[in-house]
């Protein structure tokens, strides 16, 4: 079924490569997108699949349309098809579909009101994390852009306001968004366990983003709060360890609440770029297996350096570090220390073949398993190989 959806989307992309505009260029209609195919190979552990060490194709296809009504009104939408291993098989989804109104509240500001499904702003890369041309690597630093919780802050169904005020040789941008998010079918598997299937309903998703940017420097801060409720399917269970024996425990309704604090800094010169981000997150769980409350801090950050050799080649080196801290007495008992922390040294290379084609290659030297699924670490887990690696390659074509 997924192959049929992929074929249908690819056909739409080929057919839809066109731009239509009226004579006065006020009512413009454009269609654009990209096709991307990659391959990832992990030496050990279950980051990509259900077994220790796995290979997976990475497919990211996008079809995007924009229409301008004039007088400050416009609409845009994007269809995304994404597959990345057994645990991140999201298939095709409406990535965003929004109505925008652009205006000026003051003499020199630029303000945009958005209604619908839109990309959530968090850190420097969340809004464009599924677009190969705008991210620094195939796999983003997991300390900030954790794949286990990508759908927590990927999109919001609601309303947002973004206002930008020009200062002397810089710009100050403020954005606030409110609405609900949309966890996918794999959310139970990557946060709790594969056997804990159920329905997730978003209760709340709001965020505030503040960003100052000059020609060379960007400073940013973001806060987000997300609450989702869980209703288990009939027969869902969680396997826990009891005196050395695996015991199945029936799942009960539960709630997952998260606070995100993200601090960002980036400095740019003509031929190099230095980026650092810090993420402080608190995950609060209630219910799921009988009402026990859990509080987990997930704190981490990364430092990344990119060198632009020329207009064609870019090199990358990054150090990423994240740690889990279980704050409730007894919570996390039996979880090995290697599963509570992760470090990742990444070496990457990007080749811009021409204005439409791009090739990316990278290798991750990883210690620990803090960002391995499931996030809560309550499921009885397979043995961890503490030192492991992941290699990824991706080719992309845009139109």
Residue 9: partners with Cβ closer than 8 Å, 6 or more residues away: 61, 63, 79, 81, 92
d(CA 109, CA 391): 45
Tell me the C-alpha distance between 286 and 254, whole Å.
5
Q: Which carries the bigger pLDDT value, residue 51 or residue 174? A: 174
How is domain 2-398 classified at the CATH fold level? Porin (2.40.160)
Q: Please give the residue that has the higher pLDDT: either 358 or 334.
A: 358
Q: Which of 237, 212, 207, 230 is nearest to 121 (CA)?
A: 207
pLDDT value at position 65? 97
Structure tokens given for 67:
């229409």
- State the alpha helices, DSSP H only, in 106-243: 150-153, 187-191
Over residues 75-82, mean pLDDT: 95
Q: 21: which strand partners? A: 28
pTM score, whole prediction: 0.87
113 closest CA partner among 84, 73, 144: 73
CA 59/CA 19 separation, integer angstroms:
25
pLDDT digit string, tens, across residues 206-233: 999 999 999 999 999 999 999 999 898 8
Parse the chain into domains and list their residue ranges. 2-398
> Which percentage of the chain shows pLDDT scores above 90?
56
Q: What is the pLDDT of residues 273-298, one digit of tens each?
A: 999 999 999 988 888 876 667 888 99
Average pLDDT for residues 228-253, to the nearest whole number?
A: 83
Q: What is the mean pLDDT of residues 61-88?
A: 90
Cα–Cα distance for residue pair 1/392, rounded to 1 Å: 26
The backbone torsions φ and ψ at residue 248, rounded to the nearest 5 degrees and listed phi first, read -80, 130
The two three-digit tokens of residue 359, written as one number: 């090739």
**Whether the predicted pLDDT of 96 surpasses 90:** yes
What DSSP letter does each residue of 322-345 carry, written as one string? EEEEE-STTTTTT--GGGSEEEEE
Band (372; pLDDT cuts 50, 70, 90): confident
Q: Which residue has the higher pLDDT, 9 or 34?
A: 34
Nearest to 385 by CA among 134, 121, 64, 45: 45
Q: Stretch 85-89: mean pLDDT, rounded?
A: 65
Question: Rounded CA gap, 195 and 193, in Å?
Answer: 5
For the chain, give the mean pLDDT: 86
């Amino acid at each position: 079924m997924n192959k049929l959806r992929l074929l249908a989307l690819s056909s739409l992309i080929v057919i839809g490569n066109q731009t239509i505009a009226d004579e006065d260029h006020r009512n413009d209609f454009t269609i654009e997108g990209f096709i991307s195919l990659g391959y990832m190979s992990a030496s050990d552990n279950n980051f990509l699949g259900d077994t220790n060490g796995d290979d997976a194709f990475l497919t990211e296809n996008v079809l995007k349309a924009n229409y301008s009504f004039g007088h400050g009104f416009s609409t845009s939408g994007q269809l995304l098809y994404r597959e990345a291993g057994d645990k991140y098989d999201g298939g095709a989804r409406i990535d965003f579909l929004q109505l925008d109104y652009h205006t000026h509240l003051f003499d020199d500001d630029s303000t945009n009101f958005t209604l619908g499904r839109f990309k959530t702003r968090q850190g420097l890369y969340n809004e464009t994390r599924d677009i190969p041309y705008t991210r620094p690597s195939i796999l983003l630093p997991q300390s900030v852009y954790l794949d286990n919780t990508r759908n927590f802050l990927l999109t919001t169904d609601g309303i947002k306001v973004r206002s930008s005020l020009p200062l002397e040789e810089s710009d100050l941008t403020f954005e606030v968004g409110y609405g609900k998010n949309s966890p996918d079918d794999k959310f139970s598997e990557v946060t709790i366990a594969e056997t804990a299937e159920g329905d997730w309903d978003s209760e709340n998703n709001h965020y505030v983003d503040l960003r100052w940017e000059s020609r060379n420097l960007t400073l940013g801060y973001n806060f987000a709060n997300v609450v989702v409720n869980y209703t288990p399917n009939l027969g869902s269970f969680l396997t826990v360890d009891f005196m050395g024996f695996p015991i199945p425990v029936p799942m009960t309704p539960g709630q997952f609440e998260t606070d995100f604090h993200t601090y960002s800094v980036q400095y740019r010169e003509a031929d190099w770029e230095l980026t650092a981000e810090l993420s402080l997150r608190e995950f609060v769980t209630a219910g799921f297996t009988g009402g026990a409350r859990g509080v987990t801090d997930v704190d981490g950050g990364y430092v990344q350096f990119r060198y632009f050799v020329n207009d064609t080649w870019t090199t990358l080196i990054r150090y990423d570090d994240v740690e889990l801290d279980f704050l409730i007495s007894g919570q996390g008992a039996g979880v090995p220390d290697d599963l509570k922390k992760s470090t990742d040294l990444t070496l990457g290379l990007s080749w811009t073949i021409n204005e439409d084609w791009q090739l990316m290659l990278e290798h991750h030297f990883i210690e620990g398993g803090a960002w391995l699924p499931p996030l809560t670490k309550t499921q009885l887990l397979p043995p961890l190989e503490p030192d492991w690696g992941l290699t990824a390659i991706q080719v992309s074509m845009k139109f």
